Amino acid sequence: MDDTTRSAALDRLELLAGDWESEARFSFAPEPVRGRDTFTWELGREFLALRAGTDHPDAPSALCLHSVDEDGDGSAFVQH
């Protein structure tokens, strides 16, 4: 994939960048669990990182990296 296609694909993720409030439901909690998600660009804008967490001690935290599927045409993304 060329740099122009890759850059255009990553531009489509820009709307996610920033801080978000989230809500999740778990079998161990009778009420929804409120959380915080933060999306930031990393490594020279090669990856969009998601850091997610809650204040509930049993709820998982997450660190995910999003990027363009290098085997595709710029229309698909991968999450690590």
Domain definitions of the chain by residue range: 3-79
Tokens 């915080």 appear where? 36
Residue 1 has pLDDT above 90, yes or no: no
Tokens 């999450």 appear where? 79
pLDDT in tens, 18-38: 999 999 999 999 999 999 999
Measured CA to CA in angstroms, residue 29 lies from 26, 48, 55, 62, 65 at distances of 5, 30, 12, 18, 27
DSSP code for 65: E
Query: What's the pLDDT score for residue 43?
Result: 95
DSSP code for 75: S
Token representation of residue 46: 């090669």
How far the first Cα of the chain sits from its last, in Å, is 19
